């Protein structure tokens, strides 16, 4: 893996010619969950805070993206609000994060992936910076891509804004046909799947990994 350009801090963040914003996607209504997932308290912290803590040591800044009219999750986190109208999905959250720093790459973690380990996020960041694809995306053992657990190149900002303006809200509308790096997590413990997208309280892991 070739070294990325730019000075590195002791935490390994890239701080010279590429900045990195960690984005917790927390704007969903959680209709199947019964309430917005971001506010649900699990083992003493909200799901949004669990996600933000995993991004803290990997990024230059961390923001929580919420939908229009939503309250900020408890805590002192920096919050960005998706542009109206509401319910435009994760692309609106990415656009909101880029509005805070248009020249930053994004390390994205939706709040309803509580089992994702920091090691996977670190590898997504490192593989993305090293190869500069359109995105480095977590991929499950069955080949299913999870673009909301991913590194997004800052060059995708214009494509995201164009898709939103055209009413194209699916992530695939932006990523299809672009060069992607697929990153598979290390073999999970028996019965575990670190890329489980939680839709019920019963799906929550006993203990979110660090």
Mean of the pLDDT values across residues 84-96?
A: 90
Q: How many domains does the chain have?
A: 1
Report residue 169's pLDDT band, with 50, 70 and 90 as the boundaries: very high
Report residue 116's pLDDT band, with 50, 70 and 90 as the boundaries: very high
Domain presence at residue 7 = no
* Of the listed ranges 95-99, 118-122, 178-182, 184-188, the one predicted with least confidence: 184-188
Paired strand residues for 45: 42
- pLDDT of 72 > 90? The answer is no
- pLDDT of 66 > 90? The answer is yes
- pLDDT of 85 > 90? The answer is no
More confident residue, 162 or 210: 162
Domain presence at residue 84 = yes
Could you tell me the CATH number of the domain that includes residue 84?
Answer: 3.90.550.10
Domain presence at residue 106 = yes
Mean of the pLDDT values across residues 83-107?
A: 93
Domain presence at residue 207 = no
d(CA 145, CA 61): 25
Domain presence at residue 3 = no
Domain residues for the domain of 72 are 19-199
Domain presence at residue 38 = yes
Contact 175, 135 (CB under 8 A): yes
Report residue 15's pLDDT band, with 50, 70 and 90 as the boundaries: very low
Domain presence at residue 208 = no
Domain presence at residue 8 = no
CA 177 vs. chain centroid, Å, equals 21
More confident residue, 90 or 43: 90
pLDDT at 38: 76
pLDDT at 32: 57
Structure tokens at 18: 């590429």
pLDDT at 35: 56
pLDDT at 42: 78
Please give the span between the terminal C-alpha atoms of the chain, in angstroms, as a whole number: 25
Contact 152, 109 (CB under 8 A): no
Nearest CA to 19 out of 29, 31, 9, 34 is that of 9
* Of the listed ranges 5-19, 32-46, 61-75, 184-198, the one predicted with least confidence: 5-19
Alpha helices in 9-61 (DSSP H): 47-56
């Amino acid at each position: 893996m070739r070294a990325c350009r730019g000075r590195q801090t002791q935490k390994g963040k890239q701080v010279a010619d590429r900045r990195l914003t960690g984005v917790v996607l927390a704007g969903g209504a959680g209709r199947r969950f019964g309430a917005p997932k971001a506010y649900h308290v699990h083992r003493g912290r909200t799901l949004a805070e669990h996600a933000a803590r995993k991004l803290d040591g990997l990024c230059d800044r961390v923001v929580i993206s919420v939908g229009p009219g939503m309250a900020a999750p408890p805590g002192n986190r920096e919050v960005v609000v998706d542009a109206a109208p509401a319910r435009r999905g994760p692309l609106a959250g990415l656009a909101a994060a880029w509005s805070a720093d248009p020249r930053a790459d994004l390390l994205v973690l939706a709040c309803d992936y509580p089992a994702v380990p920091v090691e996977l996020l670190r590898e997504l960041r490192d593989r993305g910076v090293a190869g500069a694809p359109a995105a480095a995306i977590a991929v499950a053992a069955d080949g299913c891509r999870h673009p909301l657990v991913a590194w997004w190149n800052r060059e995708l900002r214009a494509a995201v804004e164009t898709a939103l303006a055209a009413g194209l809200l699916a992530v695939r509308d932006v990523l299809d046909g672009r060069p992607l790096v697929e990153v598979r997590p290390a073999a999970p413990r028996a019965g575990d799947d670190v890329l489980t997208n939680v839709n019920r309280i019963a799906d929550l892991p006993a203990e979110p990994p660090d």
